[in-house]
Chains A and B, each alone.
Chain A
Amino acid sequence: MGFPTAPMVTIAFKDLAKSNAASRGMPLERICFTPHPVWGKTDAEMYAYLEGNDPVSGKPLMKEVIDALTQPLTAEEQKTGSVEISTGPATYTDTAENLQQYYLDNGMTDFMQIVIPTEEKLAEMLKGTSHKPDEVVGRMSPARGSYPEWSFTVRQVAINAVMAGAKPEYLPTILAIAETGLTSLSSSTNSFATAAVINGPIRDKLNMNYGIGAMGPFAQSNAAIGRAWTMLSRNLSNSGVPGQTYLGTLGNGVNYNNLILPENEKDSPWTPLHVQKGFKAEENVVSVFVGFSISQGQGGIGLGVKPVPQYHEAIAYNCIPFGPLFGALIVCDPLVAQGLVELGYKTKEQLADWLQKNSLISAKNARSTLFANRWVPDATTPDDAMIPYYQRADSYNFVVIGGQTNPYHMVGNMSYRVSISIDKWA
């Protein structure tokens, strides 16, 4: 920035702060640490932090802050130049058992057994795409803007696909997911989850399950494609190093193989998601979402109304706990979608419009939410004014999936990010 700066971070993020500073070219940045947390502490408690010691150095905190701004720079702190970063040897040779342990011990797995990626298996996997192995697919980081972005090639994506147990025909879909640049292991303290909606004829070609138990472990393609996302996130972007590039305080079981949502297009009364996003129906597309995962929405207000369940009211009710950080991803069984059509919501857009206008929160409650300073319209809005959860109807996205054994829906506080063609990677 060009002026002396003293960054202050709580001790919970010590490793993150130091590694982040180093990766951005300031390995000796003068970072000052406070106890953790700051959020939720009283003014008196925070003032006591300032009067106390830096928990890392043990020295008086404010003296450290002042020294950070006034002590002359050392020669090391003024260094320029470029430092290459190694990601290890090109190959590893050992017994299968030892290799399993090697990949696990070196943070290259999801802590479950992998398929050892030999050159033979890699060559077989690469038959799944016409693209050259050394073609660059994209860039990814544990959190965009917060960490350096790694780049990666078709070959490197294919290696991770092998490790996840994928078949060669899954590779174009996995390449499309990789191209989104969205890690499935976000560094956030919130323990985010990711979802990939798959549309187009490829769902049947890969025998993807979009019927009974679609989100469960009942199809190799759903499972391996999802697992590959986490495998490649770990290895192609350095995501998922606890304390450094992964800070999710609780973690998230969804991260093992993510939410893979092949839309049940044949039983849906609505336009498929990829067509809503500008693709043709016959195209194969992956659309990715990120947020707080999804939870089941049965038992909500409106579902007990006779004689017709009021699904729209139930969805609105189940979205009440949502925070403003992300939009809404609504996953409906075809029975729910058909019920909504009978209630007058002929399109997903009509339902989104109703939800945007009728899902309201008081300004007072809005101001009390996390990151409220980012979204509350203005300070003059009265406390009792009711304002929409979301400013735009397209904050609501819908995916129809499931086997019609029960009119269930699930709601996720998750945002749409991008849609990528799978066909281009065939």
Chain B
Amino acid sequence: MKMNRRKLLSVLGMSPALLAGPGAGGKEKTASGPTKLTGVNPRGIAPAVQLVPMAPRLASLDGKTVFLVSDGFPGADHFLAQMGAWFKKNMPSVTTEYRLKAGQFADDDPKLNAEIKAKGNAVIMAIGH
């Protein structure tokens, strides 16, 4: 009787599936490699960025009023005082006005914005530690 290997294995009480090699009868392996999973993206929804055009620049600072605005971080007041001293020494035609912005450092300060719009020409804002 001609006996192929499949029959031989059956006679020996072994599964013919062994002929398929490692992985046969289980999850797909070998040719396609280990089992793969599909994971989902855990991220939230980022808002679109609305581009904001920058305000027109001045031709020069000569004779202009520059508001030196502190965001409230420690040291910003002293730093801006030195900034005022620098302008006084190096660009005396520039008038500087120091202000502490109201609220937390990232809060808007509409009252100060209105004052700057009425009395000033530009802003230097500082600084964060």
Contacts and interface: CB of A to CB of B under 8 A. Distances in A.
Interface of A: 1-10, 12-13, 22-30, 34, 36-41, 43, 46-47, 49-51, 62, 65-66, 69-73, 77-96, 99, 102-103, 108, 116-119, 122, 140, 143, 145-146, 148-153, 156, 159-160, 163, 189, 231, 235-238, 370-371, 373-374
B53 interface: yes
Contacts of A159: 40-42
Contacts of B73: 39
Nearest to A32: B124
Contacts, number: 239
A108 B47 contact: no
A1 B57 contact: no
B44 A95 contact: no
B113 interface: yes
B63 to A, nearest CB: 13
B9 interface: no
Which 9 A/B pairs are nearest by Cβ-Cβ distance? A39-B75, A236-B44, A25-B52, A152-B44, A87-B43, A85-B46, A145-B106, A8-B126, A146-B106
Given A47-B85, A145-B107, A150 B78 contact: no
B121 interface: yes
A119 B43 contact: no
Given A4-B123, A85-B47, 14 more contacts: A1-B55, A1-B123, A3-B55, A49-B79, A69-B61, A73-B57, A77-B54, A87-B41, A93-B36, A151-B47, A163-B42, A235-B42, A373-B72, A373-B77
B88 to A, nearest CB: 12
A6 B124 CA distance: 5
Contact of B37 (A65, A93, A160): A93
Contact of A29 (B54, B75, B127): B54
A96 B38 CA distance: 9
A189 B55 contact: no
A152 B45 contact: yes
B58 interface: yes
Given A43-B82, A79-B53, A373 B58 contact: no
Nearest to A87: B43
Contacts of A88: 41, 43
B116 A1 contact: yes
A148 B38 contact: no
Nearest to B35: A95
Contacts of A85: 46-49
